[in-house]
Structure 1
Amino acid sequence: MKQLASVTFLALLLQSSSVDCTTQHGFQLPAPIANLDDAIFTGTFVGDTAQFLGIPFAQPPIGSLRLQVPQPLPPYQGQHTASTYGPACHQHGSSIQRWIVPGTTETSEDCLTLNVFTPAVKLPGSTLPVIVFLFPGAFETGSGKSGFEDVLVSRSVLLDEPVIYVSLNYRLSAWGFLASEEVKRAGTGNLGLRDQRLALHWVQKYISAFGGDPAKVTIWGESAGAISVALQMLAYDGNNEGLFRAAFMQSGSPTPMGDITHGQRYYDFIVDKTGCKGSNDTLECLRGVPGDVLHAAVDKTPSSSSYQALALAWMPRADGIFLTDNFQRLVKEGKIANVPFITGSCDDEGTLFSFSTTNITTSEDFRGYLETYWAPNATNEEIDGILDMYSEDPIKGSPFDTGNFDKLTSQFKRIAAFQGDSVFQAPRRFLLSERSGKQNTWAYLNKGHKAVPLLGSFHGSDFVDEMLGGSGSPLDYLIRFAAHLDPNANTGIFWPQYTAESKDMLMFGEWPWSPPTIIQDTYREEAMEYLINFGLAHPL
């Protein structure tokens, strides 16, 4: 505690100074440096954090390395200025996520870089816990430039629990999640997840140079980032290779995804639009297609803001190597890293993704939508089950508990309830029901921002609270969890572990001034149980 208190005191002293933390009494502090291999990386001070930006962690995935498994770099050499973010990986051009996910506007295929943020003041020999963030964006968009890096580090110092924070880029859309029989044979599936994995290996090798403890790594993600965290737990049948000791998932769990060949139609579309259709090796042909031609073809494929919404075109799938089976079957078979984890959801996860379906105005329209995009092989009786469980009565739809309000169309609240439960809530409950009692688990539900018209407690609303850096958000629990593998400590309420018997959850209140309370994870029990079984039978 003496070390923590010293770090806190010095950081507060610098914060309260009339000058920036890079100066003290008019004296310019030297820029922070990190020695990696035979190289020196020079960062910058911003507020009470030291930042090292745009550090490459893999060989550029360009030329012959496009659509290939990421390759490690040779040892670093020379002098490097690490003061600007690297470009984001190429984005899916039509995604609604661009509106809500912070990031840089500059994109490139040469994008595999990461960023390290530390308290500006660290005692010599510091071995701080490390939080590695996997960004959201539906596997279509986003970057390691989240916009709240200084918030997290500053908050950790104020809590007397200083941490080091790492963010990274990973390949997206078709560049990171191309899926087909050809990709399966080549062994190049789930490249975005494998980018993340290589970055985690980088952390093990180099984070001590920044004052971090490689034995105290927590992986954290929101939305697609949270799904990524879950899949890192399932990778190689649960062998986490010592890369992390804990996981924190916000709005994302192992989703019901099937074999990588399920993406064949999107692969075939790209091959056709890029002129590779007649090639003897279409995958090799795609590696040589001009970047703008490939980008234009990818942008013509569906995104999360398209009509099919969360039935995504580009997403992780079982490739037989990194992920050996349907994700939920891996969970059932216990092929998951045995580390403590926290997982939570927002109450109205599906509203944000249901505006593209407002032309669905009848129950028959909804049936056709399900049959076309969500389960083309399901029987009529199985589809009937979804229609029965998710009534068109707006009182039962999402935003939940808003009565007849927020009824954009006659089917909007119904579709929002289905999408939110099938992709976020039911997979979360399934993961907890399978793993509670076998590893330490905690769960939460966020009901904040419930009064937002049409959206309610929308997907990512807990994340918004975290970015503001206030007390009582999931951020405080994350920091304490990363430090102690337990989210409790001076939080005002004891957060019990989730068990099959109690199903205790921490609920963040409906209003900013509402304190957290403990509830049970039993809402919409029959409907979500139906979706769990449906997803196991009909993975996307």
Structure 2
Amino acid sequence: MHPRILVAIFAVLASLILSFKFLISSSTVPEPTQWLPRPSSSAHPKPSSKSGFTPPPLNPEDPNVVELDYLAVRSQNSETVKSWWNIPYAASAGAGNRFRRPQPPKLYNETLEWSGKLGMCPRIQKINATLRNTDDLSGDDVPGIEADSSEDCLSLNVFAPIDAQSGDELPVAFVIPGGGFHLPGRANGGEMVEKSRIEIDGVVVDKGILVVTLYYRNGIYGFLSGDEIQKDGNFNGGLRDQRTALEWVQKYIRYFGGNADHVVLMGTSAGGASAMLQLTGNGGDNTVSLPGTGRRPLFHGLIAQSPASPTFYTPDQANHFWKQVALGVNCTDLSVACVRNATVPDLYWQNYPMSFPNRTTPPRWMWAPTTEPEGGIWTEPAPAAIFAGRYAKVPTLLGFTTNEGTDQVKKETETVEDMKTYLLDHYPLLSEKDLDLLVRTYPNDVHWPDSGAYWDATAKAQGDIRYICPTWLCSNAIAARNPSSVPTWQYQWDVVYGADIDNGYGTKHAATVGHIMAGGRDEISDYMISFIKHLNPNTEKSEGSPHWEELGKGMGRRLVFTNRKDQHGMTIEMQNHDQNRETRCMDIKRMMPRLQMVLNE
């Protein structure tokens, strides 16, 4: 037998053993409300496999149709990938469902097929009211799957190998798009599916993976909170959408050829922040109770690329934003019932970035989660939970780019006061002592063409505060707190091309995502897809790539990808613990209560 075939078979067996290990180690919490429809015994055969699932027969009239208990959906096929776009996983989030957890999807009598419409959730409007509009959003009379943008937007997409069949048990990547909790990212997983396939001499050794992407509520639709919503509604609707879609995967992904017992959660930027918050939700219990199968983990591994660490709103801030929206739709009583009754165009007009109380300029990415009352899913920010060990103990792979902040800061930042103003607009609880320390830590000693004197310093500070240091600190804490059998890996992406070499932007925020989600295979995509398949980046790494060492307890070795010395090639090497970064990040950790990334001391 060909050696590559033996390696692939061994890797698949190892992956199944790991999946089983993490499955039996899950904790339990009281059973949540079961809102998804139960399977109909008349629709599908009685389960007989160890997973509790028996593949149904193919539709004799159309093998591209997958039949579930609440709908049937037809795929769009290329030569290599089957794609099911815009599968509803919940009811419309409009009208009476605004500011509530996702509600059960309706039953569909017809077979759904992608209409060609985008079906996206509402995007953020401009700060300048003269640049806003009321026309982009379809009304409640148009089904979301027939609209380009709508409040009826809670749908997901499944991408599978063209020859995938129900019961194949292929690994699943659940990809949460980024967009700063402002934009409804539309992610196509087809190229990841293609890159994951292994054929040798025309023989299919490994069909590859399935990829699931989704829409979730952003802006005021997903993250508006405050006292009025607490009385009759739910905070963090966008995060709840994601968790509901993960529950959908547990119940239905096997019908598409996926393995619900091998799901890797993956996200970039706000998607990475979301992944970290799913890791820490419910105090780290990532299980769900499913009819007939008991409690099951929602996911079994996690990849977070350039994850943001959002500022969780204080009650005063949350009420401030609520009041602006309520008054903006003429709800002078500030009641949630009144805002729910606002017309689609009127509420959409209010979906714009707002300034924190006593500030005049909104943050670059303003909308963010709010700490929930006791008994909620998200009662603390992700860093606070991870530092305390309250997170799901699954294999993780986390990393950042070298210049996370350069495209987050205006190039005109000229003076030290400009720098302090920018930081206070984003983190209004910082003290003058904090600001002075940040100015000393990030001096204006590097100047770039067409840039203000303090642009580079401010960009470095923002990159460390929002992205690099939380990722660094959290991955190190995970490595220290995980059982020895649960590994974590850390990386730094330092690859820069073209004009960004000379204009100061360098390796921008979230620069890895294009290598992994799109394009051909390369070293980093091979590492990531190997992790998705085997919960280990080394199993199917590129030939010649170094062994990616686990982060380890106290060792702090990370894998660095760089082309700074040679633009025609890329160096990949393990690097030792970075003490200078450690010093900077520990300063930022001490500021985290005022950065609203951990609860107040």
Rounded Cα–Cα distance in structure 2 between residues aligned with 1:418 and 1:378 = 13
Aligned to 1:151: 191
Residue of structure 1 in register with 2:235 after alignment: 189
| Partner residue in 1 for 2:399 | 344
Aligned mates of 1:468, 1:80 — CA distance in 2: 27
3-state SS, counterpart of residue 436 of structure 1: helix
Given residue 232 of structure 2, which amino acid in structure 1 is its aligned partner?
A: A
Indicate which of 368, 372, 377 corresponds to 1:322. 377
- 1:167-316 matches, within 5 Å, as 167-241=213-287, 242-252=297-307, 254-255=309-310, 257-259=312-314, 261-276=316-331, 278-279=332-333, 282-299=335-352, 301=354, 307-310=361-364, 312-316=365-369
State how far apart, in whole Å, the 1-side matches of 2:450 and 2:319 are.
Answer: 37
Q: Is the 8 A contact 2:73 2:113 kept in 1?
A: yes
Number of positions where the alignment pairs a residue of Structure 1 with one of Structure 2: 491
Find the residue that maps to 1:88 and give its secondary structure: coil
Alpha-carbon distance change, 440 to 300 in structure 1, aligned in 2, over 3 angstroms: closer
Could you tell me which of 484, 509, 515 is aligned with 1:465? 515
Amino acid at match of 1:152: M
Whether the 8 Å CA contact 2:192–2:518 is kept in 1: the answer is no
Q: Partner of 2:512: helix, strand, or coil?
A: helix
Which structure 2 segments of 5+ residues have no match?
10-60, 128-145, 200-205, 288-296
Letter in 2 for 1:109: E
The verdict on how the C-alpha distance between 1:508 and 1:232 changes in structure 2, with shifts beyond 3 A counting, is same
Residues 237, 336 of structure 1: 8 Å contact kept: yes
Residues 86 and 155 in structure 2, CA contact (< 8 A), matched pair in contact too = yes
Contact kept in structure 1, 2:311 and 2:368, CA below 8 Å: no
Alignment of 1:409-488 (within 5 A): 409-437=452-480, 438=482, 439-449=486-496, 451=498, 452=500, 453-488=503-538
CA distance in 2, matches of 1:77, 1:208: 22
Instruction: Indicate the SS of the match to 1:351.
Output: coil
Q: Using a 3 Å threshold, how does the CA distance of structure 1 residues 483 and 188 change in structure 2: closer, same or farther?
A: same
Partner amino acid, structure 2, of 1:157: R
Q: How far does residue 256 in structure 1 lie from its aligned partner after superposition? A: 5.2
- Whether contact under 8 Å (1:183, 1:283) holds in the other structure is yes
Offset at 1:191?
A: 0.2
Equivalent residues in 2 for 1:60-139, closer than 5 Å: 60-74=92-106, 77-82=109-114, 84=116, 86-94=118-126, 106-122=148-164, 125-139=167-181
* Aligned residue number for residue 536 of structure 1: 593
2:409 aligns to what? 354
- Contact 1:116 1:167 (8 Å CA) reproduced: yes
**1:82 shift after superposition:** 4.1
Q: Does 1:393 align with 2:445?
A: yes
What secondary structure, in the 3-state scheme, does the structure 1 residue paired with 2:112 have?
Answer: strand
The answer to whether the Cα contact below 8 Å between 1:508 and 1:514 also exists between their aligned partners in 2 is: yes
The 1-side partners of 2:430 and 2:340 are apart by 36
SS at match of 2:156: strand
In structure 2, the partner of 1:25 is: none
TM-score by length of 1: 0.84
Return the letter of the residue paired with 1:150.
Answer: G
Deviation at 1:467, TM superposition (A): 4.3
Question: In structure 2, the residue corresponding to 1:114 is in which secondary structure?
Answer: strand
Return the offset for 1:497.
0.7
Partner of 2:435 in structure 1?
383
1:33 alignment partner in structure 2: 65
Change (3 A) 1:261 1:46: farther
Cα offset, 1:478, TM superposition: 2.0
Given the alignment of the two structures, is residue 55 of structure 1 paired with residue 87 of structure 2, yes or no?
yes
Structure 1 SS opposite 2:338? helix
2:573 pairs, out of 514, 517, 523, with: 517
Cα distance per residue 1:484-519 (max 9 Å; x no partner):
110103432100011243211111122462132112
Deviations 1:259-278 (A, max 9, x none): 455333222211121111x2
**TM-score calculated relative to the size of structure 2:** 0.76
Offset of 1:32 from its aligned partner?
A: 1.7
The corresponding residue for 2:548 is: 495
Q: Which runs of 5+ in 1 are unaligned?
A: 6-28, 96-103, 395-403
Q: Summarize deviations over 1:287-340 as a string: whole Å, max 9, x none.
A: 11111111112236369xx95444x43112212312112332212221111111
CA distance in structure 1 between the aligned counterparts of 2:462 and 2:254, rounded to whole angstroms: 42
Q: Write the distance in 1 (CA, Å) between the matches of 2:530 and 2:457.
A: 37
Q: CA RMSD in A?
A: 2.7
Per the TM alignment, residue 470 of structure 1 is displaced from its structure 2 partner at its CA by 2.9
Percent identity of the aligned residues? 25
**Contact 2:284–2:391 at 8 Å: present in 1 too?**
yes
- Paired with 1:39 and 1:290, the residues of 2 have a C-alpha distance of 29
3-state secondary structure, aligned to 1:154: helix
Q: Please identify runs of 4+ aligned residues in structure 1 that moved more than 6 A.
A: 2-5
> Within 2, Cα distance between the matches of 1:512 and 1:470?
17
* Matched-pair contact (CA < 8 Å) for 2:164–2:256: no
Tell me if the contact between 2:122 and 2:184 (Cα under 8 Å) persists in the aligned partners. no
